[in-house]
Amino acid sequence: MDFIKFKNAVASQFERMKKHELYRTSAAKDDLWETYLSSFPAGTNPMYRERTEHDCNTCKQFIRSVGNVVAIIDGKLESIWDVNVKDDYQVVANALSALVKSKSICDVFLHFENVAGANRNFEDTVNGIKAWDHFFVDIPAKFVVKGADIASTLTTPRAFHDVLARSLKELTLDSVETVLELIAQNTLYRGAENQFALEAFKKAKIEFDKLSTESRDLFVWEQSKSLPSSVVKMRNTAIGTLLVDLSNGQTLDSAVSAYEVKVAPTNYKRPTALITKAMIEKARVTLEELGLTSALERRYATIDDITINNILFANRDARRAMDASIFDDLSAEVYEKPKSFDKVDEIHIDKFIKDILPTASSIEVMMENRHQGNLVSLIAPKNPTAKELFKWPNKFSWSYNGEVADSIKERVKAAGGNVTGDLCCRLAWFNYDDLDFHMKEPDGNEIYFGNRGRKSRCGGDLDVDMNAGSGKTRQPVENIVYESQKTMKEGIYTLGVFNFCRREMKDVGFEVEFDFMGTVHRFEYAQPVKDRTFVEVVRFRYSRTTGIEFLSSLPSSEMVKNIWGVSTNTFQKVNVMMLSPNYWDEFKVGNKHYFFMLDGCLNEGSARGFFNEFIKEELNVHRKVIEVVGSKMGTEKSESQLSGLGFSSTQRNSLLCKISGRFSRVVKIVF
């Protein structure tokens, strides 16, 4: 027997193993030592003085310290005793290996010294100096921790293993795929932030499910060390609770609602319905049975699609654009301030239709900035023989401007912010800095992150706050909104930006949109905001009689926009005026809308084909799928369409209208 060969083989095996993560199994120290001594074949461990030859304190400490160390290599467990020595020591190595690998991994490997054992020592005997060889290995620094710190250091990797093991065992693959599907549909609030972790977990889950029971724990230990902590600890996050609820059989709606309570603002509204593949298949079957599949394909309606019976007014003087007078073109470009018409006569829409419209030869209306949401298109089926899809006996629908015109407003809306208040102040920036929006009010109160979600006495509220704490994005926004100017106290307000935490020097500065009753001013600050520094954006006086008066501000510009080919704050020719299709042919269902279809007004994008409130009763059972289908079955771009301004009979609004006929005048139509 050659002990040196045995000890070197063990050392070589440790060298191979330490290139990987090292672990300990639960093989007890005393059991290891007893197995070592008892596994020698008869006659191979003779007595030496008072103990057997291999009963050595140095080797005992080595075996107790690192005898249960293992590594996972190519998915298999290896111990330091997995050696090939081809003599009686092989029996000893095999016995120790069997003991170590019969136990489960209990911890990662840590040691308090950079060596284990001792290579050799010498003894002065009566026969001269005798050399004794022992087990010995060098331990890499990454496995060395102070003895007093080992217990606390082991806590984290053990916790990572436990939570990942529970996640892989209890969370279903179906729940993960459902959440990823919701993220792809953009129907899960801040779901995209978890997409990477979910996809990594899905990959691990698929591999885990394929493994035998014996191999799964090795896989968990290996993955708990190699996967990002966001994946390992996912079960303990908000998205993890969503997966738990879905895995436990909760309905999709209730599970997602519980998730949104944890992460979304109180005023958050989900952009689209929640659907799964199974729900889609059931809806498809129903639509095919009712013969309504072709009715889903939609296009912009034209003047040729409708009959004279459904038109309240048609401009007899309307001409093709190529024949229009140059003076008409010039007059359409004249910008006029809506406030200059504040004292014109007001007339209710019903009285306007009854008394004024019959005598009008032409009408023009002024689209103000606040009317962006009133832009509307009339929609028809692509297939003229398609069956009627809606509650009313015709095939027409309508679609208001659902897209937010500017990116800052869109980002605020996507974050759950209120973009429809009388006064909306929107802050956007483009790096990881933690900028904070502040509004100092006349009564001394200051709106900021510390009182987010609580309306002030003036009615103001910070409803979106980003880049605080660990949740960071490069597209952050914040939003201070006053839903109604009626609650605002008169006096001086100061709006500013405070850099609570400066994190980087690229993509510096910020932009602010100040939106009061549809008139938008944009302020830009192109330089870095110093850490813990306040930048005043605008100081203004609010009065109920005069509105907003800027006292001082960063450089700004009032936004006169061209939307759908129509310039705001200019009078535009009305080609056709009509009621919404649900009120055609004396049929009345739902809310009445008044449409002013404008000359040259073109929705340049894709309009939604229909909405859930339009569809027949028999399709209500599939309303969630129909909601998503409606959002996807949009119209194609068209140069020939009926688009303009629409107003609901249930919402207060007003529209300046210039009438020509027996005599000309300007009136304010109120709805």
Domains and CATH numbers, the chain: 3-144 (no CATH), 167-263 (no CATH), 295-403+564-670 (no CATH), 407-559 (2.60.60.30)
Contacts with 454 (C-beta within 8 Å, 6 or more apart), sequence order: 461
**602 pLDDT higher than 70:** yes
Q: Which helix (H) or strand (E) holds 137?
A: strand 136-138
pLDDT at 321 over 50: no
Instruction: Assign 245 a pLDDT band (cuts: 50, 70, 90).
Output: very high
Beta strand 69-73 with 76-79 is antiparallel
Lowest average pLDDT, out of 319-323, 600-604, 643-647, goes to 319-323
What's the rounded Cα separation, in Å, for the pair 40 and 503? Answer: 64
pLDDT of residue 605: 81
Going by the DSSP 8-state scheme, the letter that residue 81 receives in this structure is: T
pLDDT of 320 above 70: no
Local confidence band at 286 (pLDDT 50, 70, 90 cut-offs): confident
- Give the span between the Cα atoms of 87 and 1, in whole angstroms: 6
- Summarised one tens digit per residue, pLDDT across range 291-309 is 888 788 889 999 888 888 8
φ, ψ dihedrals at 61, nearest 5°:
-65, -35
So what's the pLDDT on residue 534? 94
Whether residue 331 is predicted with pLDDT greater than 60 in this model: the reply is no
What per-residue string of b and e applies to 6-27 under the rule 16 or more CB within 10 Å gives b?
Answer: bbbbbbebbeebbeebbbbbeb
**pLDDT at site 332:** 45
Choose the weakest-confidence range: 17-21, 249-253, 440-444, 656-660: 249-253
Is the C-alpha dihedral spanning 185, 187, 190, 195 positive or negative? negative
Q: Strand, helix or coil at 197?
A: helix
Distance between alpha carbon 5 and the CA centroid of its chain, in Å? Answer: 60
Average pLDDT over residues 85-110: 95
Q: What is the pLDDT at residue 504?
A: 86
- Checking if the pLDDT of 102 tops 60, the result is yes
Residue appearing with tokens 């980002």: 411
* pLDDT digits 0-9 by tens, 133-150: 999 999 999 999 999 999
Average pLDDT over residues 635-661: 89
* Confidence grade of residue 319 (pLDDT, cut at 50, 70, 90): very low
- Please choose, from the candidates 494, 430, 514, the residue with its C-alpha nearest in 3D space to the C-alpha of residue 467: 430
Q: CB burial class (10 A; 0-12, 13-18, 19+) of residue 450?
A: exposed
| Res. 318 pLDDT band, cuts 50 70 90 | very low
**Would you list the DSSP string of 579-607?**
E-GGGGGG---S--EEEEEETT----S--
Polymer length of the chain: 671
What confidence score (pLDDT) does residue 274 get? Answer: 72
- Region 217-234: mean pLDDT is 94
What is the model's pLDDT at position 292? 81
pLDDT at 562: 76
**Which comes out higher in pLDDT, residue 183 or 276?**
183
| Beta carbons within 8 Å of 355's beta carbon, 6+ residues apart | none
Measured N-to-C along each axis, helices 29-38 and 89-101 cross at an angle, to the nearest 10 degrees, of: 150
Between residues 392 and 474, which one has the greater pLDDT? 392
pLDDT averaged over every residue in the chain: 87
Tens digits of residue pLDDT in 484-537: 999 999 999 999 999 999 888 887 888 898 988 877 788 888 788 888 999 999
| pLDDT at residue number 249 | 87
Maximum average pLDDT range among 371-375, 379-383, 560-564 = 379-383
Select the more confidently predicted residue: 137 or 125.
137
- CA triple 237-242-244, angle to 5 deg: 90
Residue 33 confidence (pLDDT) above 80: yes
Ramachandran bin of 80, using left for φ above 0, alpha for ψ from -120 to 50, beta for the remaining angles: alpha
Check pLDDT > 80 for residue 483: yes
Q: Which of residues 145 and 618 earns the better pLDDT score?
A: 145
**Among candidates 297, 304, 310, 306, which has minimal Cα distance to 381?**
297
Q: Are 579 and 592 in contact (CB under 8 A)?
A: yes
pLDDT at 317 over 80: no
Q: Coil, strand, or helix at residue 668?
A: strand
How many Å apart are CA 452 and CA 447, to the nearest integer? 7
Segment 561-587 mean pLDDT: 89
Instruction: Judge whether residue 330 has pLDDT over 70.
Output: no
**Under a CB-based contact definition with an 8 Å cutoff, are residues 668 and 345 in contact?**
yes
- Highest mean pLDDT: which of 254-268, 282-296, 327-341, 381-395? 381-395
pLDDT at 158: 96
Two structure tokens written together for 156: 């984290």
Q: Which helix (H) or strand (E) holds 316?
A: none
Average pLDDT over residues 451-471: 86
